[in-house]
Amino acid sequence: AQTVTQSQPEMSVQEAETVTLSCTYDTSESDYYLFWYKQPPSRQMILVIRQEAYKQQNATENRFSVNFQKAAKSFSLKISDSQLGDAAMYFCAYRVNNNDMRFGAGTRLTVKP
């Protein structure tokens, strides 16, 4: 079964500092996609960053970057120069070629001013 594990239910970071959110997944597939979604309080889920498994280069989107370790089945999210608006639930997600995207349980990120 495909599973996604986020081992940190809650994390906090000081404004302007860097934080890393962990995610591991379990799959026997070789071709798949990985995603990080952000869900602010009472607001809709939005895509932060995505990674294709066949690409060795780690994805980067402005202050957000990932550390994708395919052999270890690890996909962590690094947020640099954290801002108050980064406070949210962060979900790691995984999808193969079907449409059953699997999500982790989420990590609640608090940003301290």
Partner 1 sequence: DTGVSQDPRHKITKRGQNVTFRCDPISEHNRLYWYRQTLGQGPEFLTYFQNEAQLEKSRLLSDRFSAERPKGSFSTLEIQRTEQGDSAMYLCASSSTGGARVKYFGPGTRLTVT
Minimum CB distance to partner 1, residue 47 (Å) = 6
Site for partner 1 contains 91 (CB under 8 A): yes
Minimum CB distance to partner 1, residue 102 (Å) = 8
Site for partner 1 contains 94 (CB under 8 A): no
Residue 22's DSSP bridge partners are none
Site for partner 1 contains 103 (CB under 8 A): yes
Among positions 8, 65, 67, 101, the unique one binding partner 1 when judged by CB under 8 A: 101
Site for partner 1 contains 104 (CB under 8 A): yes
DSSP-derived secondary structure for 27-88: -S-SS-EEEEEEE-TTS--EEEEEEETT--SPPEETTEEEEEETTTTEEEEEE-S--GGG-E
DSSP 15: T
Give which of 88, 91, 94 is closest to 33, Cα–Cα: 94
Q: Interface with partner 1 by CB under 8 A: which range of 13-21, 29-37, 71-79, 80-88?
A: 29-37
